[in-house]
Amino acid sequence: MERPKLPLTETVFYVLTAFKKPTYGYLAIKSIEEMSEGTVRIAAGTMYGAIENLLKQNLIEQLPSELERRKMYQTTELGNKLLVLEIERMTHCISIWKQSLKGED
């Protein structure tokens, strides 16, 4: 399966970020809401659909879990590389914006 192209969707960005540390879906939903200061709310169905897609693309992986009902996931090396590329892209965009503001003062 092909990896997502940049720019990442907001949902994919937040899901990959939420799974940088091993966690499970419901906790990731809460983490995303907190990270986004309440501006991004992901429904359970959307989260589990995103998890399935990201697993197929090898951007997250399922980890062994002691709790049968909680499936744990973590961003893979490939997922982390994609996050870094997206951060670099956004940083470049911000830099261009700041440069465009110079001289307007």
Residue 26 forms part of a structural domain: yes
Over residues 67-104, the pLDDT tens digits come to 778 899 999 999 999 999 999 999 999 999 999 998 77
Residue 5 forms part of a structural domain: no
Domain count, the chain: 1
Residue ranges making up the domain that contains 88: 10-101
Neighbours of 89 (CB within 10 A): 13
Tokens in use for 92? 């470049």
* pTM (two decimals): 0.88
Residue 4 forms part of a structural domain: no
Q: What is the CATH number of the domain that holds 66?
A: 1.10.10.10
Q: What share of the chain is helix, strand, coil (3-state, %, to 5)?
A: 55, 10, 35
Residue 1 forms part of a structural domain: no
